């Protein structure tokens, strides 16, 4: 059940929101729960750290994620 707490959506807006929720629920239902998902390459910390290591210092943690 979906309940509108704030605002006054049009029937089209409500239908669009419901379609997104139903599509997401269907995608989750199709995906096997025991399947190991391979992590995305952009989330791999080794991608940044492999090219260069930050110089030690108080802001070194931030430089590991912001190449430049």
pTM of the predicted structure, to 2 decimals: 0.44
Q: What pLDDT score does 11 carry? A: 93
Question: What dihedral angle (degrees, nearest 10) is formed by the CA atoms of 55, 60, 66, 68?
Answer: -30
What confidence category does residue 56 fall into, taking pLDDT thresholds of 50, 70 and 90?
confident
Domain edges within the chain = 11-64
Q: What pLDDT score does 36 carry? A: 65
pLDDT in tens, 4-55: 899 999 999 999 999 999 999 898 888 776 566 677 777 777 776 655 666 6
3-class secondary structure, 51:
coil
Inform me whether the pLDDT recorded for 62 exceeds 80.
no
CB 18, CB 2: distance < 8 Å: yes
DSSP class per residue in 10-50: -HHHHHHHHHHHHHHHHHHHHS-TTPPPPPPGGG-HHHHHT
């Amino acid at each position: 059940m979906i309940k509108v707490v704030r605002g006054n959506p049009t029937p089209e807006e409500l239908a669009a929101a419901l379609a997104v929720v139903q599509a997401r629920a269907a995608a989750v239902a199709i995906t096997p729960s025991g399947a190991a998902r391979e992590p995305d390459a952009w989330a791999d910390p080794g991608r940044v750290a492999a090219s260069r290591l930050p110089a030690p210092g108080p802001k070194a943690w931030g430089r590991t994620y912001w190449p430049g």
